[in-house]
Amino acid sequence: MYKEITDVAAKVLSSEFGIKDTSIFWNTPRERGRGDLSTTVALELGKKLKKKPLEIAETLSKALAKSSLIEKAEAVAPGYVNITLTPTALLKELNRTREAQTAKVAKKNAKPVIVDYSSPNIAKPLGIHHILSTIIGQAVCNVQMHQGTPVVRWNYMGDWGTQFGKLAVAYKKWGSDKPVADYSIDELLSLYVKFHDAAEKDVSLEEQARAAFQLLEEGDATARAFWSDVVAVTKQSLKKIYDRLGVAFDVEIGESFYEDKMQSIVEEGKKKNVFMEGEKGALIAKFDEASGMPPAVIVKGDGSTLYHTRDLALVRHRIEEWHAEAIFYVVDVAQMLHFKQLFAIEAQLAWDLPKQEHIAFGRMRFADGSMSTRKGNILKLEEVLNEAVKRADAIIQERGDAIQSDDPKELAEMMGIGAIVYGILSQNRKMDMVFDWGKMLSFEGNSAPYLQYTHARTRSILRKAEMESCDLPEKIETLTEKERLLIGTLLRFSDVLQDALEQHMPHKIANYLYELCQDYNAFYTSEPILKAPEPERALRIALTSFTAGVLKTGATLLTLRVPDRM
């Protein structure tokens, strides 16, 4: 359909104005009720042709109105061309929406995209701030995979460093008799906090921690066993949270893997004169003045490595072992300089690099101030999720028979966690976000429960109709306003997915789903469905099925679950 109407417009531009090879794009009009498709090509050509855009638009609209696909075409000041499609043309286009609900198959031998996200530190529970990288990263992965891109979901964990020395000292001094493997993640956190409280009074503890970590680096069997148990306890705790959030990883290779792979990078950098001596014997990389970036420290004066050193080894590994097509880092905006420096160093080393992008997101701020693991007043993600589920359960109890569910507890889990996740993913990731209980757990308006309830409504209608779907009528003479608006929104699904893919913006999907819910509920309120005469009944059941499918697909991409009953 798009090709046919574009060909008509192109022929007019060629025959009437001598314009050839011009790109003509069709969009949904900003104002509802102004047609199904709109183009600004007349506005774009006005200056070139030295004609009023409206005159060009009027010529185009007259030609387009003759197409069998178009019910009405009109020129709108200052130079838009808006077209209203025939009902039959619109219904045929819904096949694109059906196809968009099915995940595309990746091309054979396609190189993978690596998405680096979540990346918590071992020996600490996830804080609420961790949810940003975790669910934004998972949504980015989901969209990539749905659109046919092979993805490696990578959790690059902070499983190395002096925190293990601190924990080892704390365990030895204040730990119980039970093995480390039997500790909970909260008990490990308590030891970590206790160490820092004590170290403020006894500075020798810091030196003891460095000595304990040195044993770990040297391969001491006892230190390595302690480290391994701490890692295992943390991963077990993490998996419970990840499962609740619908998050999964293909690779969980952390910093420790690269401890013996950094020296070759350092030697390469020195040989290529990329790394040079800086202050106090440190090894640094410098950048052009025009970049505005300060030097990056690669190795400290005492010989210890830093994040840049490990990240360079990490990138080399991903290039050589995984042959990545692209690497996306889902990390907060505070690390922007780090990634700019990292990418610049890699270019100086003249590596054969894949596409790399820092998918930055804004910082999470708290209404009651910042949170610190060190001081023990972290707002734990698990506690936030539990509180959300508790509040959802209270709403279910309050509404009684108004909410139907075979498993109210499972529905509360779905609603509560969905409210937190959707509350984040429905916002532009580039903006800062303030965590506020009232806003994050609202069940009104643009929220997960509203989406979930609308999906349950569509499934209820399909059950009453005793069918999962219904074929679209081959021909329909007229469409009501609500039917046309709903069809128009459904038709945008494939474009929204592609837009979210290219920009790594999950909120585009969330906001689209909210709009679809609004349009379907307006349609549901306005038009009888099961009692409508044919072919209207078949059409409305089919539109209900399409809506159910799009809501389910879109929600899944955002890691949300939607119930069939609610």
Band (434; pLDDT cuts 50, 70, 90): confident
Convert the pLDDT of each residue in 221-245 to its tens digit: 999 999 999 999 999 999 999 999 9
What is residue 367's predicted lDDT score, i.e. its pLDDT?
67
Contact between residue 61 and residue 81 where contact means Cβ atoms under 8 Å apart? yes
Predicted pLDDT at 401: 79
Enumerate helices (H) and strands (E) in the chain, giving the number of each: 20, 12
For the chain, the straight-line distance linking the first and the last C-alpha, in angstroms and rounded, comes to 38
In this structure, are 75 and 173 located in the same domain? no
Same domain membership, residue 455 and residue 551: yes
- At CA 257, angle to CA 252 and CA 259, rounded to 5? 150
Chosen domain end from 229, 245, 261:
245
Q: For residue 422, what pLDDT band results from cuts at 50, 70 and 90? A: very high
Residue 181 lies in a domain: yes
In a domain, 419, yes or no: yes
Q: Are residues 166 and 47 in the same domain?
A: no
> Which residues fall within 8 angstroms of residue 463, CB to CB, at 6 or more apart?
none
- Domain C-terminal end among 85, 100, 124: 85
- The answer to whether position 329 is within a domain reads no
Give the CATH number of the domain where residue 422 resides: 1.10.730.10
- % of residues, the chain, pLDDT over 90: 78
Nearest of 477, 481, 402 to residue 443 by alpha carbon? 402
pLDDT of residue 369: 57
The dihedrals phi and psi of 374, each to the nearest 5 degrees, come to: -60, -40
Do residue 73 and residue 213 come from a single domain?
A: no
Are residues 167 and 70 both part of a single domain?
A: no
Are 32 and 177 found together in one domain? Answer: no
108 pLDDT above the threshold of 70: yes
Q: What is the pTM of this model?
A: 0.91
Statement: residue 393 has pLDDT above 90: yes
Averaged over 50-74, what is the pLDDT? Answer: 93
Q: Is the pLDDT of residue 507 over 70?
A: yes
Asked whether residue 175 falls in the same domain as residue 65, the answer is no
Asked if residue 478 is part of any domain, the answer here is yes
Which residues constitute the domain of residue 488?
Answer: 401-557
- Domain-located, residue 141: no
Share of the chain above pLDDT 70, in %: 96
Give the chain's domain count.
3
Rounded mean pLDDT, 301-308: 85
CATH number assigned to the domain comprising residue 69: 3.30.1360.70
pLDDT of residue 306: 85
The Cα 276–Cα 285 span in angstroms is: 6
At 298, which helix (H) or strand (E)?
A: strand 296-299
Residues 423 and 532 in one domain: yes
43 plus 184 within the same structural domain:
no
pLDDT of residue 455: 97
pLDDT of residue 177: 84
76 in the same domain as 169 = no
pLDDT score at 475? 83
Are 553 and 405 in the same domain?
yes
Q: What is the pLDDT of residue 443?
A: 64
